Amino acid sequence: MYRTEYPQPQFQRKHWQNLNGQWQFAFDDADEGQRKQWYREHDWSEHIEVPFAYQSQLSGISDTTGHAVVWYQRTVTSQAESGETVLLHFGAVDYGADVWLDGQFIGHHQGGHTSFSFDITNQVSDSAEHTLTVRVWDPIHDEEVTRGKQSWTGRSEGIWYTNTTGIWQTVWLEYVPQTYLESVQYFPDISAGTITIKGTIKHFVPGTQVQAVITFKDDPVTETIVTPEIDSFTFTADVFAKKIFRSGYHNDGRLWTPEHPHLFAIRFTTKTPNGEQDVIDSYFGMREVRTESGMVFLNNRPYYQKLVLDQGYWSEGLLTAPSDEAFKKDIKLAKAMGFNGARLHQKVEDPRFLYWADQLGFICWGECASAPVFSARAESALYAEWQEIIDRDFNHPAIITWVPLNESWGVRSIHDDRQQQHFSQALYHLIHSLDPTRLVQSNDGWEQTETDICAIHNYSHGESAESPQYAYFKDSLSTWQKLLSQPPGSFDIFAKGFAYAGQPILLTEFGGIGYNKVDADAGWGYTGAHSDAEFRNELQRIFTAVASSKSLNGFCYTQLYDTEQEVNGLMTYDRTPKIPVKEIYEILDYFVPSYIESQAREHMLS
């Protein structure tokens, strides 16, 4: 079993070759492979199913012990046509990767969650068999690397899960002409009804033309041809004719929302004077997000976010979904429960998940895996990964918020350490400088610095007899402002020197009702339930308190499914709902709170 879908569906070419499947594999606990040149010759004793990490069941190895260095090898045969450039792509390799082809070093990449590629045109011959070798270094006990929810103790315990070491997303070859479209970025303007497109051309030659044909539900919208003078270009296309725009705006006829995830298709054709031609199929969504008057606005309308925490783990594949259908299933189940999006927690999710979020209408808050400690090395790693994250995922309309830090992980002294505060601010401004189209939440949970959203975590909802502990969710905004300076938990909501400045307030972690239907004593949650009825009643009690708030602009419930020893999901680890999906939907169905509706009406009238 291996993944066969095109790995980057938002930038898709027809001529490509999937390299997933069985590879030769070896542990290198003595770290002697480089010295002994395993990339030239080695007696391979194991096999692994790529793209599944050796710790997972689907890898065929299923060994959860720690091995810091592992090796992969397989043969590849180029299918390039005459004159084509050959690109070798890796979806994600955790943590550092060195790559050889026929014993010749190709390149290195560091960062366990982001994609990378190499031009191997000069190293391959048509129809010849080549040997591809990958060495992966994953320092399991190193707290300075970005690891997210992966345990650095070697044990799955508490909120930390089994490690993922090695290749965990698709590996593939792509065949392109010598001059090809390298990247594009979309900047929608729904008020003007236009899309601005910025692109770059690799190996640009004078006279190159780029044609962009935009369609909506197979109907022609517009066609643009540009002849850049350099290797980059920018143009703006009108995608809402006035007549269409009036209808589309008021009826969501052409805007992207979770309720109506309308998408425009776009085909780019790059042509050079010598006849080379590169064809890419892509898509974009017309949507905008901003904050105003203490509310999040989606497409100029207040929007209440009903999010669920998604850890991005599967029992048989760990960080790697067993199939493309598994992505769709998670999104469809979450929407059927009444959620309109998810926090993709401490993981940069596979582009295939983001594709289905775009297609099905599912808001995403994108996070990056944190490093557990603060150091110059950890800072550099996070800066680098965020640049690669935004470069790869910029065009997904489903992503509306970036979250660079969570609960002060890796910045334990941020409350009063000005250096760590500067780091948080630097991430906030770096992300905004790279992506002006989204919101940034600086440190989700507490001890926030500069931020577009005030995001609060609180599990102090207690048992039924302790309901007064949760009563503050019913308070007005003025009371919340006092609570923000004197929070009910053990952490201040804002770091020293920073204060609430009218941002939308969202409860971005709460709930976590532990319920193991098979073994009541196994696993843990933030509160407990021992029957379907008790689980249902706890959900009802907690969500009723949240819905009563006169201040919250949205929430994120913990969590969508159990993950290893955490049994606080709405579903089990294998995605079986603990109570009927319809009953969860009925509990969530009374949102949006009336105060949001009244504020929205006042804003629209003004």
At 125 the pLDDT is 80
Return the CATH number of 180-275, one of 3.30.1330.10, 2.60.40.10, 1.10.10.10, 3.40.710.10: 2.60.40.10
Q: Please state which of the ranges 108-117, 403-412, 564-573, 588-597 shows the lowest mean pLDDT.
A: 588-597
Distance CA 423, CA 471 (A): 35
Residue pointed to by tokens 């090395």 = 377
- Please tell me the class of the 302-605 domain: alpha beta
Check for a shared fold between 180-275 and 302-605. Answer: no
Model pLDDT for residues 438-466, shown as the tens digit of each residue: 999 999 999 999 999 999 998 876 555 44
**Residue 507 parent element (H or E):** strand 505-511
Percent of the chain clearing pLDDT 90 (strictly above): 77
Q: Is the pLDDT of residue 251 over 50?
A: no
Q: How confident is the model at residue 242 (pLDDT cuts 50, 70, 90)?
A: low
Q: Is the pLDDT of residue 589 over 90?
A: no
At 247 the pLDDT is 43
At 465 the pLDDT is 47
Task: List the strands of the sheet with 454-457, edge to edge.
Answer: 439-440, 399-403, 363-367, 341-344, 305-310, 552-558, 505-511, 454-457
At 466 the pLDDT is 44
Could you say which architecture CATH assigns to the domain 16-175? Answer: Sandwich (2.60)
What is the three-class DSSP state of 320? coil
Question: Do 367 and 455 form a contact (C-beta atoms < 8 A)?
Answer: no
Q: Please state which of the ranges 140-149, 193-202, 360-369, 429-438 shows the lowest mean pLDDT.
A: 140-149
Q: Pairing mode, if any, of strands 16-18 and 171-176?
A: antiparallel
Q: Is the pLDDT of residue 593 over 80?
A: no
How do the domains of the chain map onto residue ranges? 16-175, 180-275, 302-605
Q: Is the pLDDT of residue 329 over 50?
A: yes
Q: Is the pLDDT of residue 339 over 80?
A: yes
Instruction: Kindly tell me the sign of the dihedral angle through the C-alpha atoms of 452, 319, 307, 356.
Output: positive
Q: Is the pLDDT of residue 478 over 60?
A: no
Position with higher pLDDT, 518 vs 375 = 375
Region 109-117: what's the mean pLDDT? 96
Q: Is the pLDDT of residue 475 over 60?
A: no
Please provide residue 319's backbone torsions phi and psi, each rounded to the nearest 5 degrees. -70, -15
